[in-house]
Amino acid sequence: MSNVQSYSLFTDFDISLFKAGKHFRLHEKMGSHICTVDGIKGTYFAVWAPSANQVSVIGDFNHWKDGEHLLQVRWDSSGIWEGFIPNVGHSDTYKYKIHSNHDGIVTEKADPFARRAEHPPKTASIIYSTDHVWKDQDWMQKRHKHNSLNAPFSVYELHVGSWKRKTEENNRSLSYSELATELVAYVKEMNFTHVEFMPIMEYPYDPSWGYQLTGYFAPTSRFGYPEELMTLIDAFHQNDIGVILDWVPSHFPEDAHGLGNFDGTACYEHPDRRKGYHPDWKSLIFNYERNEVRSFLISNALFWLDQYHIDGLRVDAVASMLYLDYSREEGEWEPNDQGGRENLAVISFLKELNQEVYASFPDVQTIAEESTSFPMVSKPVFSGGLGFGMKWMMGWMHDTLSYFKRDTLYRNHHHNEISFSMTYGFTENFMLPLSHDEVVYGKQSILGRMPGDEWQRFANLRLLYTYMYTHPGGKLLFMGSEFGQGSEWNFEEQLDWYVLQYDIHKGIQKTVADLNHLYQTIPALYEKQFEADGFEWVAHDDDENAVLSYIRKGNDPDTLVIGVFNMTPVPRTAYRIGVPKNGNIQEVFNSDASIYGGTGDYHNKKLKVSKTSWNGKTHSIEIVVPPLAGIVLELKA
* Catalytic sites, residue numbers: 316, 369
Q: Round to whole Å and give the CA distance between 259 and 247.
A: 16
* DSSP alpha helix (H) spans, 384-541: 394-405, 415-419, 446-449, 454-470, 503-521
Extended strands (E) in 8-111: 31-37, 40-48, 52-59, 72-73, 80-86, 93-100, 106-109
504 alpha carbon, distance to own chain's centre = 30
Nearest to 217 by CA among 17, 24, 31: 31
Is-contact 30 297, C-beta < 8 A?
no
Q: Round to whole Å and give the CA distance between 316 and 369.
A: 5
3-state secondary structure of 421: helix
Specify burial of residue 528 (Cβ count, 10 A radius: 0-12, 13-18, 19+): buried
Angle at alpha carbon of residue 334, lines to 330 and 335, rounded to 5°: 105
Extended strands (E) in 263-389: 277-278, 283-284, 312-315, 365-368
β-strands 93-100, 125-126: how paired?
antiparallel
Q: Round to whole Å and give the CA distance between 58 and 65.
A: 6
Is-contact 295 15, C-beta < 8 A?
no
Packing angle between helix 503-521 and helix 454-470, nearest 10 degrees? 10
3-state secondary structure of 316: coil
88 alpha carbon, distance to own chain's centre = 37
Which secondary structure element, helix H or strand E, spans residue 584, and what is its range? strand 584-590
Q: Round to whole Å and give the CA distance between 73 and 268.
A: 19
CB neighbour list of residue 434: distance below 8 Å, 6 or more residues apart: 397, 401, 446, 468, 476, 477, 478, 481
Backbone dihedral region for residue 83 (phi beyond 0: left; psi -120 to 50: alpha; all else: beta)? left
3-state secondary structure of 48: strand
Beta-carbon count within 10 A of 63 CB: 8
Is-contact 591 513, C-beta < 8 A?
no
Q: Round to whole Å and give the CA distance between 227 and 180.
A: 12
* DSSP alpha helix (H) spans, 68-154: 137-146
Q: Round to whole Å and give the CA distance between 430 and 393.
A: 5
